[in-house]
Structure 1
């Protein structure tokens, strides 16, 4: 029997919706396409909103200052005494390409977590504090879909942040110092092109390293309507995890800390590159994403957005 909206299987018509008089079939794939299209549209809108904010560009600008300050300081003052300063600092005067990697070593423990914590902590709490969360859900964006889009936008910012450090460092190093084949930690020398590819791989490594912390920030953001609280808590947890990782008495806990592999990207500067740290890091961050993503979903689906 055929109705104005749906055709049952007995009539032998294809599954899906039918507009009564026109008899136009609308299969389930059309609904899926609409959901995907709506999600992509929401994601594009979120990215546009994120990168239109002056705060976002201020954060990226602050990260860009790190390699600039390192390069200018070394250019003016010369090399630091042997064995002092961050890793790769001594190679900068011989090869300016190492500015970006040195800046990454400096930025990863504190500055990257601070900037990414600001974005992650603002994901849901920022919308709630401005009173826009309820309208996003009425749109309808869907609570879980909104969470996924917010997290994906934060992941894009993670990539933008790490690329800012590496790219600006490479450019300022190229401008102020000699540039040539890259000498790896294993003693082998690779071309400038291969060296740049490895530096991009390091940026990808650090981006992955920040994904677990971003999931924590997303969860914390669902707990409050005060974005600053979620931002500060995310950054503080990153510092606490690193302090715990430095204590030998807590060695049993180290493999479970989301900061454990943050500086393991040096393995990508060996010949051949060692990918074990990359894989272990990705697995660890995925675990944090699953756990804190599930907590964020649990909190979000029960959150009262109308109060």
Structure 2
């Protein structure tokens, strides 16, 4: 994953806000940036370049950004920016409209038009994740997408929720990805963003079949993750929930080199492995850890875990248990 991190802590306290403003203007989008907390400015930006899109995570204090027609003429990357607010409040105005999305909701803006954005902190900071989407990469009619500028879009459920959940996971696990993963992950982000915008503009027919298929697979994986602790989780249940046949479901998993049942078991075992390493769950019996993630039979859980990780779950927990902290004399 190609990630660039900008942190105000890297600069002397008296220069932090000026350096940040310069970074935004030169590395992001030309604009006027101001803050009521310029004297003690604390901000962090992480930018992931993932294939056709970039994903920017921002944690900022009170901040106002104004992009004028002069700035647009100076530099325009010709892209849409689809953002989800994770904490605090962000108000955005563009094309004569103003929106203040709730936490978890999505909002779209366009780099080719002037806009204003205000960050209003909660518990010290505003946190957002923004996807930069090249306009040429979006297979939807521009005139219809532009109707969504500065319009609130629910991000807690449906396709919006699926995109928001995927972005949060992408950012959280960014250090674990290999360089060859970047194009695939970026393509998935683009597919999900396209699906959200196509749903809102009722232009689903413009979405390529392969893109719809990838979005369906992401939805299926999210469904599986939410129900790993359900004993009844099965290929038939997954297929029925997505209104496809079990045969179609198996075809979707073929390119991954695994079956649906194998994937469910793999994800259950991985959740068990994490719980066995969690000191907060140290008193939870091993068989209860397995039952927590859908293994009804303790013996079956032990065999499956040993096959996957080379040691029984009890031994794995003991070998990887943190040692006692040494007290200083």
- The alignment's TM-score, normalised by the length of structure 2, stands at 0.30
TM-score scaled by structure 1? 0.31
Higher-strand-fraction structure: 2
Instruction: Pick 1 or 2: higher relative contact order, CA cutoff 8 A, min separation 6.
Output: 1
Higher Rg of the two aligned structures: 1
Larger helix fraction of residues:
1
